[in-house]
Structure 1
Amino acid sequence: MITNRTMLLVLASCLLAWLLGMIFIPVMDIDAAQYASISREMLDNVSFLQVYDLGKDYLDKPPMLFWLSAISMKIFGVHDWAYRIPSMLFAMLAVYSTYRLALLFYNKTIAQLSALVLASSQAMFLLMHDVRCDTMLMGWVAFSLWQMAEWYENRKWTHFLGAFAAIAGGMMTKGPIALMVPVFAFVPHFALRREWKQYFRWEYIPGLLLIALLLVPMSIGLYQQYDLHPGKIVNGVPIQSGLRFYYWTQSFGRYTGENQYHEMSYFTFLLENMLWSFIPWIILFLAGLVFACRDIIRKRFRLGKTEECITTGGFILTYCVLARSQAQLPHYIFVVFPLASVITARFLHSLLFTENLKEWKKPVLVIHAVIFVLLWCALIVLMTFVFKNIPRVIAAAAAAGLLALLYMLFRNRNGGLPLLLKTAFFTVAGINIFLNSFFYPNLLKYQLGNTAAAVLQEQKIDPAKLVQYKIMESRALHFYAQHIIRRKETADQLRPDEVVLTEKDSLSTLQQQFPAMKTIFEGEYFGITMLTLPFLNPATREKEVTRYVIADLDGKP
């Protein structure tokens, strides 16, 4: 049994790591910084039905993330942590909904484990600072699954309305996948329970009408922005209908070939990325999935009235559909992590709280102990050698974390939380507290946008005067400067009264055209989302970074 005190302690540790990431880590290029910039631009333009990115039409993602983030920044100010608040709240909703969904079919311990597994998976720590649509989508989908299951079990209309409203919210966050996941979850569930009449309930009609009604504001915006002006060019493609693009091309077009994106389209791509994104639970999840499938086969594909296939069926069907897409990214699978968490929790309960798998306990613990020790060793290396400005006391604290882990492993006492869980929660929460407090903040000093924007604020430079010239695009620059920074492609377009942001190699050419030019700041940047060992090595980092300058072209203060 897991006590309420233990439950709260683990959740509080995860929440601490989440908050540290939200507060101390700047938004990362490309996606998170782009979405933050779009949200700020929406707030600045007071344009909630039409979405723009750097003044141009934007049609890649639905507007829910931008709506809620813009409202948050309206309340708290334009800050990265304000942009992240709505997503954190939806992450908390996902954890709670996962707990309540599991509690419908299993005992309290499995429900608690389900919530703790989801809250402590590596993807959740990442999503708290590298905010994308997937955090919000996960919350909507988990809530809709819980509410729908509650309605099937208890027949309360409040749950029915909550389920379909959540589906609409998810569709306004990332498209039809928010409707597809509940379908994929409940279709096999009803089939295995032989509840054929559930496929033909009349209540689905008002539910779909509710979805359609809630989608009206977004649909009006799409119609006004695109359908009334057919032929607009977005990402190099003429758009004849924003409604068709959203409801068909962006999702189903990935299978028909209509969608322009073609990347990472092999079947095991998402599973390979779960090897890191579902740490420290990935091995236990895979074992749990195999056991769940075995149980279904042993029962000859027939479940009792109190059993469920929402989690197993929902995960497998969703994975198969996503994995057949011609365009995949690692975070696409995050939408079914609540289902994966319940599957994992069921296996953990059998392994640690019953005698069903007693011969598995020691091997599983040994494997994970080795993994946890290696993770702490990697953290010590990061805290000691990568960034010289991290105080030595922090590296010593990381080493103390490793010693604490070893103490738990070799001086385990009976009673309380099982050792595997204790070391897993300690490792994942502890390591992410270090990463979010020290590693990522130092790493983001090498991101161009936020560092350049900080110079503008320190030097009191009007961002309207700044011009980008022959330098990579950083969406974080527009967000932190709270202004759309112009870009000019040729030197003859530059004016003496402007301040230029450019690579250092361009200075000699500009010096000839603007002899009075004065360098205000010189820095270095690197594409931090594509880390390499030469960059992480301080001895070779100089060869990996690109030097840039901020210069006043007329040299006048």
Structure 2
Amino acid sequence: MINNKESANQIYLNYIIVSIVIYILGSLFIPLIEIDSVQYGNICREMLQNKSFLQIYDQGKDYLDKPPFLFWASSLSMYLFGMNDFAFRLPSILMAVVAIYSTYKFTLLYYQKEIATLSALVLATSQAMFLITHDVRADTMLMCWVILAIWKFASWLQNKNWVSLIIAFSSVGFGMMTKGPIALMVPIFSFVPHLIIHKQYKLLFRWEYLVGLAIIIILLLPMDIGLYQQYDLHPEKVMYGKTGTSGLRFFYWTQSFGRITGESIWHENDSIFFLFENLLWGFLPWTLFFIIGLIFELSQLIKNKFKITSSHEWITVPGFLITYLALGSSRYQLPHYIYVVLPFISIITAKCINNTVISKGNNQIFSKIISIINSIVFAIILVLLVYLLFVPFNSNKVLITCLLILAAVIFTLILLYNDNRIPKILHFALFSILTTNLFLNLFFYPKLLEYQLGNKVSKYIIDKKINKNDFYLYKITDSRSLDFYSNYSFKNIEDFKILKKGDFILIENKNAPDSTLTKFNKIESIPSFHVSMLTGEFINPATRDSALDYFYILQKK
């Protein structure tokens, strides 16, 4: 048992602060990754340059995929702090911090402070959080808006404070501007079971909800106007292979519910287990605790014949399960879709850690088994880290070795100083995930991103002071990183005849026959790889060359 709970909470807070520092380091040292993160950054760049904030374009073409809030927030940040990686990521990092705080405050409404702090810690140190604060997706902001809405609505249920209700519905509105109706559905999935199991049926229908609905409608008006002007007023536009596309219908139905009904054209990863399989690594180092915690929560509900005390919540478990089933029913899924309920997963996990590791009670043997299994997992994480730091790339091995030794010394001192204020297994888990992501952010990702085509070409253009107006692309499908880092929209051509003497062109090796090369001087050869789709062939230096695509920078004779 922990003798000083306040001391334990302070240790948890320190670890959370370290996690946030690692988020920031990732935003400073890692270039934006193709495809999504760079695409969003480039859309923000175009939005600022064209001053088109309601109608969204991607490389000059109509963009009908994600709602605009991410682009609005990041473009504002880029306006204030410049056209760079950190400015683009800053709003997402800030909202990740708000999500951590909101998780703490929501948990505190129903549980003791130690579980609330532990919930925030689990969320802050899950692998997914380190990933989505540098490889930015809309899900980071969506998660924030949803847990903020959950916290404030739960607070309103307890105190009937109008400010809490207004913030809750405003958060839903901003969440819908971030990723559509899922921001409304998750709170519904969470609170309806809670109110039903507590037999608070009158709270299912309150006149205050009409005010909340009005708030949502008002907040969504700018987005709706932009969609209507860009698409509904122009049925002649061809979107996804057909004309007559309604932007409003797309966002409010097709993009969300259409993936379940089959109306959406997207079909990929439609297994009900896909999201869970990806959660196994995305929620490291806490995955095992979460699985055990979820099983325990469900077994307790069944054991108690679906009855819970009036002071307990039944928000997190159904919020996770129903959302998971809804997302898992989609015919198009990506691993980060489930991250919207990471706060719920973190709370379930924190309760399990508290029950099995901190307040062991009579479960000493069970706790020991869990600790041993988790220790093996954490050791594997560190072994993989060492492999990624020393094998794939020519990194500064002396510096990395010294820093790893320093990290090990610090970890040892923490254990010696800890005096059982928190269990050693938690220190081991936190050390493994924090060290891994710190070193990945500082050493692995920057080396990996050297193989992203646009970054290298942009650096070459800037270093050689090439006039961007004289630089062209030939059948290059993914040039957003080049556009973003050059702060310029390059022309993609399919006919060399428009080029004049002295012009430069970027061309892939397979598109450059010898007959073409005779008319150009080969200036630079650039190896490239789709870094978001790592393979063993690429990671292994001995076989990497066969995994690379080669591009040339040519100059017209």
TM-score range (shorter-chain normalised) is: over 0.9
What TM-score, normalized by structure 1, do the two folds share? Answer: 0.95
- Contact map agreement 1:455 1:521 (CA 8 A) in 2: no
Cross-structure match for 1:368:
374
Equivalent residue for 2:469, pick from 453, 464, 472: 464
Q: Report the AA paired with residue 209 of structure 2.
A: Y
**Alpha-carbon shift at residue 471 of structure 1 (Å):** 3.7
2:262 and 2:543 map into 1 onto residues whose CA distance is 43
Cross-structure match for 1:533:
536
Cross-structure match for 1:332:
337
Q: Give the stretch that moved more between structures: 456-465 or 327-336.
A: 456-465
Cross-structure match for 1:510:
516
2:261 and 2:509 map into 1 onto residues whose CA distance is 46
The Cα offsets for residues 259-278 of structure 1, whole Å up to 9 and x where unpaired, read as 11000001000000001100
Q: Report the AA paired with residue 382 of structure 2.
A: W
The Cα offsets for residues 262-299 of structure 1, whole Å up to 9 and x where unpaired, read as 00001000000001100001110010001111111122
- Contact map agreement 1:380 1:399 (CA 8 A) in 2: no
SS at the partner of 1:234? Answer: coil
Moved over 2 A (4+): 1-5, 234-240, 355-359, 389-393, 395-409, 411-414, 462-465, 489-498, 507-512, 517-522
1:110 matches 2:115? yes
Q: Report the AA paired with residue 287 of structure 1.
A: I
SS at the partner of 1:105? Answer: coil
C-alpha RMSD over aligned residues: 1.8
The Cα offsets for residues 469-514 of structure 1, whole Å up to 9 and x where unpaired, read as 14442321111111111111243454435210112451633233x2
SS at the partner of 1:534? Answer: helix
Cross-structure match for 2:102:
97
- Contact map agreement 2:360 2:367 (CA 8 A) in 1: no
1:520 and 1:207 map into 2 onto residues whose CA distance is 61
1:84 and 1:51 map into 2 onto residues whose CA distance is 19
1:83 matches 2:82? no
2:283 and 2:160 map into 1 onto residues whose CA distance is 34
Equivalent residue for 1:253, pick from 248, 251, 258: 258
- Contact map agreement 1:219 1:243 (CA 8 A) in 2: yes
**Alpha-carbon shift at residue 399 of structure 1 (Å):** 5.7
Cross-structure match for 2:191:
186
Q: Give the stretch that moved more between structures: 72-81 or 540-549.
A: 540-549
- Contact map agreement 1:188 1:310 (CA 8 A) in 2: yes
- Contact map agreement 1:379 1:431 (CA 8 A) in 2: yes
SS at the partner of 2:552? Answer: strand
2:497 and 2:86 map into 1 onto residues whose CA distance is 39
Compared with structure 1, are the counterparts of its residues 551 and 388 closer, same or farther at alpha carbon in structure 2 (3 Å cutoff)? same
- Contact map agreement 1:117 1:344 (CA 8 A) in 2: yes
Cross-structure match for 1:43:
48
Compared with structure 1, are the counterparts of its residues 458 and 273 closer, same or farther at alpha carbon in structure 2 (3 Å cutoff)? same
Gaps of 5+ in 2: none
Q: Report the AA paired with residue 90 of structure 2.
A: I
2:474 and 2:237 map into 1 onto residues whose CA distance is 27
**Alpha-carbon shift at residue 59 of structure 1 (Å):** 0.8
SS at the partner of 1:129? Answer: coil
- Contact map agreement 2:389 2:395 (CA 8 A) in 1: no
Cross-structure match for 2:286:
281
Q: Report the AA paired with residue 531 of structure 2.
A: I
1:423 matches 2:428? yes
1:386 matches 2:389? no
1:441 matches 2:453? no
- Contact map agreement 2:13 2:121 (CA 8 A) in 1: no
Q: Give the stretch that moved more between structures: 527-536 or 130-139.
A: 527-536
Q: Report the AA paired with residue 125 of structure 1.
A: F
2:370 and 2:408 map into 1 onto residues whose CA distance is 20
The Cα offsets for residues 69-97 of structure 1, whole Å up to 9 and x where unpaired, read as 10000000100110000000110010000
**Alpha-carbon shift at residue 193 of structure 1 (Å):** 0.9
**Alpha-carbon shift at residue 369 of structure 1 (Å):** 0.9
Compared with structure 1, are the counterparts of its residues 414 and 5 closer, same or farther at alpha carbon in structure 2 (3 Å cutoff)? closer
**Alpha-carbon shift at residue 239 of structure 1 (Å):** 4.1
- Contact map agreement 1:14 1:429 (CA 8 A) in 2: yes
Equivalent residue for 2:554, pick from 546, 551, 556: 551
Structure 1 segment 311-330 matched on structure 2, within 5 A: 311-330=316-335
Cross-structure match for 2:127:
122
2:514 and 2:428 map into 1 onto residues whose CA distance is 56
Compared with structure 1, are the counterparts of its residues 413 and 361 closer, same or farther at alpha carbon in structure 2 (3 Å cutoff)? farther
SS at the partner of 1:521? Answer: strand
- Contact map agreement 1:408 1:423 (CA 8 A) in 2: no
Equivalent residue for 1:290, pick from 284, 290, 295: 295
Q: Report the AA paired with residue 511 of structure 1.
A: L
SS at the partner of 1:549? Answer: strand
- Contact map agreement 1:379 1:398 (CA 8 A) in 2: no
Report the number of matched residues: 550
1:176 matches 2:190? no
